[in-house]
Amino acid sequence: MSGGGRRKSSSGGGGGGAQIIILVVGIVLMILAPIIAQVIYFAISRKREYLADATSALYTRYPEGLASALEKLQTNNTQVKMLTSYGTHVYQQSLL
């Protein structure tokens, strides 16, 4: 009964390959997760923009006028001043 109650594994430490695979998969996911999150963010943003345009067309009941206004905004070359971090809270919408 000497040995302090320790068991010797019969496999001889064969689990190292699985640990390396898990490590590689973890690193790949750490790299890809922000990219995937940004793609999902853009998809949701595009969907919200489409729904906002569709809703405004329903409210105004004049989709041609709305389309014309959007075209005018698109062709406008006026420089818009960028917001500082102090003014961005005014333009952010609550998701709750």
Q: Whole-model pTM?
A: 0.51
Percent of the chain with pLDDT over 70: 67
Give the SS3 label for residue 93: coil
Asked if pLDDT for residue 33 goes beyond 80, the answer is yes
Dig out the tokens for 56 from the structure. Answer: 């405004």
pLDDT-derived band at 34, boundaries 50, 70, 90: very high
Average pLDDT over residues 75-88: 71
pLDDT digits (tens, 9 = 90+) for 82-95: 666 666 666 665 55
pLDDT-derived band at 74, boundaries 50, 70, 90: confident
Q: Give the residue, 11 or 40, on which the prediction is more confident.
A: 40
At 32 the pLDDT is 97
Spatial CB neighbours of 68, under 8 Å, sequence gap ≥ 6 = none
User: CA 31, CA 80: separation in Å to the nearest integer?
Assistant: 34
